[in-house]
Structure 1
Amino acid sequence: MAQGTLAQGPDMTIERSGGQTTVRLSGPWTAPHAQRVEALVGEIEAEADHFPLVFDLSGVERLDTLGAWTLDRTRHELSVKGQADFANASPEQKILLEEAAYRDFQGKPKPRHSRSVDFLVDVGQSVAGAGKDLVGGVGFLGELVAAMVRVIVHPRRFRGTAVVNQLEQIAYRGVPIIVLISFLVGCIVSQQGIFQLVKFGATPFVIDLIGILVLRELGVLLTSIMVAGRSGSAFTAEIGSMKMREEIDALRVMGLDPIEVLIVPRILALLIGLPLLTFIASIAALVGGGLTTWVYGGISPDIFLERLRAAVGMNTFLVGIIKAPFMAVVIGIIATLEGMAVAGSAESLGRHVTSSVVKAIFMVIVLDGLFAMFFAAINY
Structure 2
Amino acid sequence: MTIPYLTSQPTSSTDAASGLHIGGDWTLAHYSRLEPQVLALRGRLQGEPRVDLGGLAALDTAGAALLVELLGSERLRQLAQQQALSSERRALLLAVADAMAGSQQAQEHATPSALREVLGHIGEAVETTWCHARELLGFMGLTLVSMLVILVRPMRWRLTSLAAHLEQCGLNAVPIVALLTFLVGAVVAFLGATILADFGASIYTVNLVAFSFLREFGVLLTAILMAGRTASAFTAQIGSMKANEEIDAIRTLGLSPIELLVLPRVFAMLIALPILTFIAMLSGMLGGGVVCAVALDIPVTMYLSILQDSDLLQHFLVGLLKAPIFAFLIALIGCREGFKVSGSAQSVGEHTTSAVVQSIFVVILLDALAALFLMEMGW
Same fold (TM over 0.5): yes
Cα distance change, pair 128–293 in 1 and its aligned pair in 2 (3 A): same
Structure having the higher helix fraction is 2
Structure 2 unaligned regions, length at least 5: 2-28, 30-56, 65-79
Q: Residue 93 of structure 1 aligns with which residue?
A: none
> How far apart in 1 are the matches of 2:93 and 2:174?
67
Q: Does 1:370 align with 2:376?
A: no
Question: Per the alignment, do residues 51 and 81 of structure 1 end up closer, same or farther by CA in structure 2, a change over 3 Å counting?
Answer: farther
Counterpart of 2:356 in structure 1 is: 357
Q: What is residue 308 of structure 1 aligned with on the other side?
A: 307
Deviation at 1:111, TM superposition (A): 1.6
- For residues 293-350 of structure 1, the C-alpha deviation after alignment (integer angstroms, 9 at most, x for no partner) is 1111111111111111222421111111100000001111111111111111222111
In structure 2, what is the Cα distance between the partners aligned to 1:119 and 1:201?
52
How far has the Cα of 1:76 moved from its partner? Answer: 7.2
Q: What letter corresponds to residue 354 of structure 2 in structure 1?
A: S
1:50 to 85, 90, 115: 85
With over 3 angstroms needed to count, the CA separation of the structure-2 counterparts of 1:135 and 1:310, relative to structure 1, is same
Structure 1 residues 149 and 51: alpha-carbon distance in aligned structure 2, compared to 1, 3 A threshold = farther
Letter matched to residue 275 of structure 2? L
Contact 1:211 1:311 in 2 (8 A): no
Tell me, yes or no, if structure 1 residue 147 matches structure 2 residue 146: yes
> Taking every aligned residue pair, what percent have the same amino acid on both sides?
40
Deviation of 1:154 after TM superposition, in Å, equals: 2.4
Q: CA deviation at 1:51?
A: 4.6
Q: Which amino acid aligns with 1:220?
A: V
CA contact (8 A) 1:212 1:312 kept: no
Note if 1:207 corresponds to 2:206.
yes
Structure 2 residue 161 is matched with structure 1 residue 126: no
Aligned-partner SS, 2:170: helix
**What is the rounded CA distance, in whole Å, between the counterparts of 1:350 and 1:118 in structure 2?**
28
- Map of 1:183 onto structure 2: 182
Distance 1:164 1:51, change over 3 A: farther
How far, CA to CA, are the matches of 1:201 and 1:76 in structure 2?
90
Question: Where does 1:1-380 land on structure 2 (aligned, <5 Å)?
Answer: 43-45=58-60, 50-53=85-88, 79-81=95-97, 108-109=106-107, 111-380=110-379
- Change in Cα spacing, 1:82 to 1:373, as seen in structure 2 (3 Å) is closer
Assess, with a 3 A threshold, how the Cα gap between structure 1 residues 221 and 53 changes in structure 2: closer, same or farther: same
The answer to whether the 8 Å contact 2:214/2:281 transfers is yes
Q: CA deviation at 1:266?
A: 0.2
Shift in Å, 1:155 = 2.0
Q: Distance in 2 between the 1:52 and 1:264 partners?
A: 69
Alignment partner of 1:343: what SS?
Answer: coil
Question: How far apart, CA to CA, are the structure 2 residues paired with 1:303 and 1:181?
Answer: 25
- Name the count of aligned residue pairs: 302
Q: Which runs of 4+ in 1 moved over 6 A?
A: 46-49, 75-78
Residue 128 (structure 1) shift:
1.0
- Which residue identity does 2:203 align to in structure 1? P
Q: 1:148 to 1:106 in 2, by over 3 A?
A: farther
Aligned to 2:342, the other structure's residue is in SS state coil
The CA deviation string for residues 126-148 of structure 1, in whole angstroms up to 9 with x for no partner, is: 11111111111111111001111
Given residue 330 of structure 2, which amino acid in structure 1 is its aligned partner?
I
Partner secondary structure for residue 123 of structure 2: helix
Does 110-119 or 238-247 show the bigger shift? 110-119
Alpha-carbon distance in 1 for matches of 2:216, 2:292 = 20
- The letter of the residue matching 1:305 is L
Per-residue CA shift, 1:178-201, capped at 9, x if unaligned?
111000000000000000000000
Unaligned runs of 5+ in 1: 2-34, 36-41, 55-74, 84-104
TM-score (norm 1): 0.74
Q: Following TM superposition, by how much is the alpha carbon of 1:262 offset from its aligned partner in structure 2, in angstroms?
A: 0.2
Instruction: Give the letter aligned to residue 194 of structure 1.
Output: A
CA distance in 2, matches of 1:255, 1:367: 37
- Take 1:135 and 1:248, find their aligned partners in 2: how far apart are those partners? 23
How many Å separate the matches in 2 of 1:153 and 1:338? 28
1:244-265 C-alpha deviation (Å, 9 max, x unpaired): 1111111000000000000000
Give, as a single letter, the amino acid of the residue that structure 2 aligns with 1:366: L
* Residues 338, 352 of structure 1: 8 Å contact kept: yes
Q: Distance in 1 between matches of 2:162 and 2:297?
A: 46
Distance 1:160 1:315, change over 3 A: same
For the residue of structure 1 that corresponds to 2:222, the secondary structure is helix
CA distance in 1, matches of 2:244, 2:348: 12
> Pairwise CA RMSD of aligned residues?
2.7
Deviations 1:153-184 (A, max 9, x none): 32222101101100000110000111110000
CA distance in 2, matches of 1:106, 1:374: 56
2:211 touches 2:312 (CA, 8 Å); kept in 1?
Answer: no
Q: Which moved more, 1:143-152 or 1:224-233?
A: 143-152
C-alpha distance in structure 2 between counterparts of 1:142 and 1:162, whole Å: 22
- Determine helix, strand or coil for the equivalent of 1:173: helix
